[in-house]
Chain A
């Protein structure tokens, strides 16, 4: 049996699939700061036999928490002479344009711990100034005295030649074996020194946290008798081993959220859909990501703590491209200065939570509006919901200001929340040259199924899938994942003159690095699969587009093929191509998968007779555009394979509800997924 546990803000989820393909789901409270306790709790609660667990998958917020709560290690930076302030100068940008008392993000390493070593590489990777090892000795002595716990090493142009960085790390390990140390090239060989330095520094900063967490969790699993291989979810949508995650913990920063996106792509493959929009609505945010032809999109332009007004910290590690907005079930509805209704980004969080939770929340949220609108049922919560409190809050904070009654206030909140989510969904689709009609939405998280079908109708998405494990879908995704490593090498080469030999040499070297990595992780050679990507642009441009490249080895005719794919991709994203302008390669990007065995899924029983037996009640429900309608409500657990119905209707389960609009067609597939056809032509 394979087991996945996923630590979220409020709950730690467990999903397991046994040898018969049966799905087991469990939830337990998250237990900060000792998150491993929550994992052990949910394992115990699930009643799974430890010996039967053959493989253990894990998603954790430990790394992102250590970063955002600033609980990582005392970290130093060793860098090239003349460049110790790169980390503090950053890129000079001030996104909050008219704020003249703007504050930049403060560097994770203060100036006195940023140390310089004499060495220099040229942009071509030639040694201009040899590495002065005496400088390393001097600086290590200083940093010992300052009692730092972790050291990042990042030199100028190391992406072109990593010899000095590697030697420096080696030397530091000789001089001070106990200290945590990493080189920037351990994580990426992409150019841009500030971004690479920031990545290395943040990695070093969380290394001690990651090591102690992973070691402790590993030990407790062993004590419990769980002995199989252990994997941790990375931000790139694949997994890695516990050991590797201690070396490059920064690759685990978006561990949880990406698993849901990856799961969506797998679910799509199972049911024959390759173009997917993954849509995940949680308590505080809505996240969406587009999967084009089965490929989860990965980017290295990722930042933490960045928004319209804050520059944030770059992490140049591959992360699934997700658009996230502050619009979840707990997002607060409020009236702005000009009298307009807004929803989010402020959230009531888990505490006090929506008014409905009765934990002292007085600000109305999207969840509260969904209750008043009949889309959620107060009896389907695992606490007593006082509808009087909910209605009062809506009337006082929203209805009064807008001059409308409580029901119209609820309608308005839902419309604004839907509009926010609609704009995020457009951002990943139409605004990037994709037609939503070619896509299927996978809606999950507590709020995805509530809002998904309405949004799909707005956007002309034809089909919505609400998976069986909708509320623990990230954990489900982990169970289906492979090991994945991304290797990126910056090398500027005009496509016209680039030597195929040189390019193939670079691919070969990346593949060898991947091979070594897989051997260390115990992945047999036969299970390694490579995919090849090239970041390309027109000469003179700065930004690149990612092109799916031909497989290794590249032959002479692949030059024309790559060029034509590049023109097409550019035209797709930016509506034009420049066929007469020469193109160049900026990065080679190797994606290496170590394929893991996938569990088979069990089919649910066939629907016998009418679905009336599954009907819980009929109630008045508000639908945008259609108003209030008498709506039948069904119990998801009582719907069998092949069950069919036409909206308006609601399908309820313990943690969410699927709201099907008038005219939309619901069917239940053989695995129990709800399929909503939106009748968009």
Chain B
């Protein structure tokens, strides 16, 4: 387009900033009105704006896991109907795991074409985790599902709003098949109204600057993204790194093997998952999306976490998965816990690249979302309630600082835990404890961050508890000589005193009044040789009760007075190791 040569680049940048501001606006407006804790606290949703070809321009993310999923969803709708058959005011609903950036069916996507003076100029899309979309279990995901039909209703790019009018029969069908239609209705309108805001803002920009300037700025945004990514790629270490790991459990007691080969050249960042296990009977399968998104997360972290996310930045990136594998499963595989596979993908690539990128990647973290679903009736109000929440845990140490505590796993992000005071009001539980799990694992020059303890007491009979705590067999990995962290698990202590075995996965376990579930999350991996940790820091760790005096001696070789917390000396092993250096 020759006329663009004459547009002042500062004008393009100003329009570009306005596009990003519009994207932020549609992102935040949605959380403010949502009725689902998983949206307003977990921020388990994303929204974005794409150009008329469906290339992602800007994305607002609450969690890392939705990275790059908006654009495929838009392309799938455009392909299905043909761009010429889309109309102003249309909105399409899509949650099919096997098309258009699908994840699990709980993540409901919406796509809106944006027209200016009759011309298709852009798309807005968003994707949000709905509290329930039907299926066999409250919350629509269940660790024992074996096919997609148990996991709710599937929409493969269905028209939900036709030229501004809600398609009533579609909504009617949805309403009759969901457990909490009132909540879903709120979220549906929240999503639609935020897309409409996006439409309005883009048309305002066109009014002010002209459609050509807006299109020019969209082009500049993607070109700049690509040029920065290519420049940074050239500065990266080059080579091939491999890693393979087993996911603890497919939901039916079987480990799932995954492997990756990452190759970085001057022009490409390639992640190849060939050789990973075939799809499984449980619900940890994923469409191709999990691997694509997982790789993008680590790619962003090494190329520059501060860069704006758009399709230009991802230009040098390529991911390969085998069809029929657990990372690119075929219909009708169950996918409700697909995100656990996605996080294993992240962990695999992360672990493979950690030695090469010590400033961007540290030791392993709790890894799992540690999802909890609990449903029942509130003991005082008698209303049905549903908890769907992730659980915080420990992160790994890295070069320069100790591991962090109380963070959600890498698949989450700007995610908030539900405050104790709110949970006790809203749900049929009392929280007996919320504290650090100071098991002292993850020893290192930089110590792994402690896991968490969260204890729920059932305040009513017949409540159902479902949870999926991955990383429940093999502990979190340490790096650069740091020790491994620990594992995630939970156990039940029933009102009669019966204590269950520790477990990682359970589906719809009944809890009666005063039954307690004690959830424990992992401590992150250590970084560097524990014998290099300064003795004064080890003594403070003992004083702060992150580790015991015995661990100080055994793991760190530091003798600490358990009363005064003074450093009494070093063990012979530590002295010997120091002498050998």
Which A residues contact B (CB, under 8 angstroms)? 82-86, 88-104, 110-112, 122-124, 156-157, 159, 191-195, 309, 337-341, 402, 412, 415-416, 419-420, 423, 426-427, 431, 492, 538-543, 570, 573-576, 578, 581
Contact = CB atoms under 8 A, between A and B. Distances in A.
B297 A98 contact: yes
Contacts of B40: 541-543
B199 interface: no
A103 B227 CA distance: 29
B417 interface: yes
A100 B301 contact: yes
25 contacts: A83-B434, A85-B436, A85-B452, A89-B435, A89-B452, A91-B416, A92-B407, A93-B407, A94-B407, A100-B301, A100-B305, A103-B401, A104-B406, A111-B546, A191-B422, A192-B421, A193-B420, A341-B13, A538-B35, A541-B40, A542-B34, A543-B33, A573-B32, A574-B29, A575-B197
B357 to A, nearest CB: 9
B21 A194 contact: no
Given A86-B434, A92-B406, A193-B421, A423 B546 contact: no
Contacts of B36: 540
Nearest to B226: A338
Contacts of B392: 89, 92
Nearest to B204: A430
A156 B63 contact: no
Nearest to A541: B35
B417 to A, nearest CB: 5
B424 interface: yes
B551 interface: no
Contacts of A157: 421, 424
Contact of B306 (A123, A309, A578, A581): A309
B366 to A, nearest CB: 11
Contacts, number: 201
B64 A84 contact: no
B407 A104 contact: yes
A88 B414 contact: no
A670 to B, nearest CB: 37
B412 interface: yes
B186 A338 contact: no
B421 A94 contact: no
A574 B434 contact: no
B127 to A, nearest CB: 15
Nearest to B436: A85
Interface string B347-360: 00010000000011
B420 A97 contact: no
B178 interface: no
B517 to A, nearest CB: 15
B10 A192 contact: no
Contact of B433 (A82, A94, A192, A574): A82
B14 A416 contact: yes
A576 B10 contact: no
A419 B452 CA distance: 44
A94 B186 contact: no
A584 B430 CA distance: 22
A82 B433 CA distance: 5
B543 interface: yes
B421 A156 contact: yes
Q: Which of B400, B420, B436 has the most CB of A within 10 A?
A: B420
Contacts of B41: 542
A337 B18 contact: no
A159 B32 CA distance: 24
A192 B297 CA distance: 31
Given A92-B417, A111-B546, A542-B37, A340 B306 contact: no
Contacts of A340: 9, 13, 16, 224
B432 interface: yes
B279 interface: no
Contacts of B405: 85, 88-89, 104
A576 B196 CA distance: 12
Contacts of B435: 82-85, 89
B538 to A, nearest CB: 14
A680 B406 CA distance: 52
A571 to B, nearest CB: 11
Contacts of A191: 419, 421-422, 425
B305 A99 contact: yes
Nearest to B419: A192
Contact of B434 (A89, A103, A110, A420): A89
Interface in B2-23: 9-11, 13-14, 16-18, 21
B403 to A, nearest CB: 10
Given A94-B415, A574-B33, 15 more contacts: A88-B405, A89-B392, A89-B435, A92-B392, A99-B305, A104-B406, A191-B425, A192-B422, A338-B227, A340-B9, A416-B13, A423-B21, A431-B29, A492-B425, A574-B29
B157 interface: no
A98 B32 contact: no
A105 to B, nearest CB: 10
B434 A82 contact: yes
Contacts of B434: 82-83, 85-86, 89
Contacts of B57: none
A621 to B, nearest CB: 19
Contact of B25 (A82, A415, A431): A431
Contacts of A574: 29, 32-33, 193
Nearest to A89: B406
Nearest to A196: B421
B500 interface: no
Contacts of A84: 435
B3 to A, nearest CB: 20
A415 B182 contact: no
A542 B131 CA distance: 14
B455 to A, nearest CB: 8
Interface string B535-563: 00000000111100000000000000000
A188 B352 CA distance: 48
Contacts of A578: 186, 189
A339 B224 contact: yes
A458 to B, nearest CB: 9
Interface in B168-207: 182-183, 186, 189, 193, 196-197
A110 B544 contact: yes
